[in-house]
Amino acid sequence: MSTPEPSPRVLVVTGAASGLGREIAVQALAQDWTVALLDRDARSVTAAADELGVLAVAADVTSPAELGTAFATVVERLGPLDGLVNSAGLTRPGPSSTLPETDWRTVVDVDLSGTFYACQAAFPHFARDAAIVNLASIAAVRGLPQRTAYSAAKAGVVGLTRSLAAEWAPRRLRVNAVGPSWVDTPLTRRMAEEGAIDLKEMTDRVPLGRLGTPRDVAEAVLFLLDQTRAGYITGQTLYVDGGFTWAG
C-alpha cells in the first residue's frame, strides 16, 4: 500500500519582490514550502515569482480590500495557509522636528497597519497549527536618531505580535516576530556609498564583528514558522543582530 503524499505547506510572504522578503521566499523553497509572493509592485513581484517558479499576487498591504482578494486567490490556487511572513516595510529617515506628516503616515501605514491588515486578511484561511512571523527591528528597542516613524512602527509590530499571539493561541495559530539589525544588502551598501551611514562604524559596534546577511534573517524566520522546531514558541521577538541590541 503506497504512502500518501504529505500536503504542501503553503506560505505567503509580503514585500517579497526583493530584499529580505525575496530571500525568505528562496530559503523557504529550499525547505519544501509552497510559496506565494505578495507585493504591491505587480511587475517586480511577477518577475521574481517567474524566476522562482512560484505564485505571484499583487496587493498593497495598506489596502484591506486588496489583501482580502489576494489571500482568497492564494487559497484557491494553493490551499489553506500554513504560514505568513509580513516582510513589507519601508522607512523615511529625517529629523523628527521637521518630519513631514506624509512621511510619518506612510511608514506607520505600511510597517504597522500593513502588518495588521495582512494578519487580519489571512486569519480565516489558516490551517491548524499555522504560524505568522512579522518583521520587526532593533529599532523597536533601541533609540535610533532620525528614525522616529520607523522606530514607532516597529515597536508597534512587537506589541501587535504579543497581542495577536495571546488572542489567537486557542485557534492553534502562533505569532512571533524577528527583529534584524543592519543587514548587508545592496541598499545598505548604497547608503554607505552615499555617506548616509558609516559601514565600518556600524560593523565595529556589532559584538560578533560583522553585519547580518539576508540568510541570517531568513533562517530565523523559517525556524519560527516550523511547527516541529518552534511549536511551543509564540508571542516572542527574536533579535537577529550579532549581539548589537544589548551590547552594541
CA distance 221 to 133: 6
Catalytic residue among 117, 150, 232, 239: 150
CA distance 248 to 143: 12
Q: Are 37 and 19 in contact (CB under 8 A)?
A: no
Q: Name the nearest CA neighbour of 180 among 138, 243, 236.
A: 138
Question: Would you call 204 exposed, middle or buried from its count of C-beta atoms within 10 A (0-12, 13-18, 19+)?
Answer: exposed
Catalytic-residue membership of 150? yes
Element (H, E) at 36: strand 33-39
Q: Give the DSSP letter of residue 183.
A: B
CA distance 72 to 77: 9
> Which residues are catalytic, by number?
150
